[in-house]
Chains A and B, each alone.
Chain A
């Protein structure tokens, strides 16, 4: 078994770059579409998307809905599980803008992903976006307002 995690890391970084470029061809190419159980858990959806059709449809809808998509990883732990399997745990900051007239919205998600090697290429078979609990995010929001207010009062 090889311990080389570089191709695993590069594959997931390519996926994030494809999001930023809103490049549907590159987004779909990142997936192992032969796997009928491939899945995508989007933070904003209640149900997990299963199978290439659902995953591709979601990615298409997302790049159509937003003019600007930014993904910036700040922590990446790639693993080599065996010769043909890899996984990534990552923390990614994101921001989206619907149109020039609208404000950006953004946040941070933790990613758990699994990749499989086929034809020398590493492709995703599972990808889960996991935000912090809403209760915690709200507390962080209140804290950020307090921090701003505190500065303004000084």
Chain B
């Protein structure tokens, strides 16, 4: 792997690691501060978040609604589109404890991340990040498959 790709992946890994301490200021620091129109589209948000004001509000709100968050990236792929622009995709497995109701078990899912990053004087930085879960129908099928494995583990070899 060349140095550029290593630098990009380093930014991604640092971004994902911010989940551990819910360090959303740390996440913001990995965005291109000079971007006039940053876009983030979290899977849980009904509307895309466009502009710094909306991003800041989202990160502040995230700290309130979750009591704990973990994330892990895998399957990272970088497509260097030019010297200073990259398309970066990865799978993000997250596990979250919600603040309310308290003592509920955590929820978790896998989401496909689609990032556009720019090389800045501070390093590679995000300027657009769109989260892509599988759609409802596909997830319903995955849920039924998981349920079958749980209910009938003896059939696993036959399925």
Residues of A that sit less than 8 Å from B by CB: 37, 39, 41, 43-46, 48, 75, 77, 79, 81-82, 84-85, 87, 89, 91, 107, 110-112, 114, 116, 125-126, 128-138, 140
Contacts and interface: CB of A to CB of B under 8 A. Distances in A.
Nearest to B138: A44
A114 B41 contact: no
Contacts of A111: 130
Best-surrounded residue of A39, A89, A91, A112 (most CB of chain B within 10 A): A112
Contact of A91 (B48, B85, B87, B134): B48
A77 to B, nearest CB: 7
Nearest to B39: A89
Contact of A41 (B44, B107, B132): B132
Contact of B43 (A45, A125, A133): A133
Nearest to B143: A134
A43 B135 contact: yes
B114 A46 contact: no
Interface in B106-132: 107, 109, 111-112, 114, 116, 128, 130-132
Given A114-B116, A128-B114, A85 B85 contact: yes
Nearest to A128: B114
Contact of A130 (B37, B85, B130): B130
B81 A125 contact: yes
Interface of B: 37, 39, 41, 43-46, 48, 50, 79, 81-82, 84-85, 87, 89, 107, 109, 111-112, 114, 116, 128, 130-140
Q: For the complex, would chain A's binding face be called helix, strand, loop or mixed by DSSP majority? A: strand
A93 to B, nearest CB: 14
The 6 A-B pairs at the shortest CB distance, nearest first, are namely: A130-B132, A133-B43, A112-B130, A43-B135, A134-B139, A128-B114
B43 A136 contact: yes
Given A41-B114, A48-B112, A82-B85, A89 B137 contact: no
Given A39-B79, A134-B135, 9 more contacts: A41-B112, A75-B48, A126-B79, A128-B89, A130-B43, A130-B133, A131-B136, A136-B43, A136-B46
B112 A132 contact: no
Nearest to B130: A112
A135 B48 CA distance: 17
A82 B39 CA distance: 18
A131 B132 contact: yes
11 contacts: A79-B37, A81-B81, A87-B128, A112-B116, A128-B89, A128-B132, A132-B43, A134-B135, A134-B140, A136-B43, A136-B45
Given A82-B82, A89-B48, A134 B136 contact: yes
B39 A134 contact: no
A52 to B, nearest CB: 14
A110 B79 contact: no
A129 B45 CA distance: 15
